Amino acid sequence: MNISITPALAGYVKQKVESGPYKNASEVVREALRMMENQEIRDLRLAGTQCGGFDGGSLSNRVGRDPEPCSFRDRGYK
């Protein structure tokens, strides 16, 4: 996989590698993606308490499921 990021983000990643516990840029990106997935799971759980429940699990388990009755479609969830 090859991704493109802005120079500002590249600088941020470089700073994290140089000053933090990360050994390389891939570790920084993996951690960021894990954090993003965890946030989405929290959002789904919160919405589930308002929309009739969410059974947990990872987002990858929800692929292909219709998140209705909640309005996730408006927020980019599919």
The string of pLDDT tens digits covering residues 6-65 is 999 999 999 999 998 999 999 999 999 999 999 999 999 888 776 655 455 555 555 445
Look at residue 54 and give its three-state secondary structure.
coil
> Of all helices (H) and strands (E), which one includes residue 77?
none
**Residue-range definition of the domain harbouring residue 49:** 23-75
Length of the chain: 78
**Between the ranges 1-5, 8-12, 64-68, where is the mean pLDDT highest?**
8-12
Measured CA to CA in angstroms, residue 47 lies from 41, 50, 57, 64 at distances of 10, 5, 15, 18
42 assigned to some structural domain? yes
Provide the domain count of the chain: 1
Q: What is the pTM of this model?
A: 0.59
65 assigned to some structural domain? yes
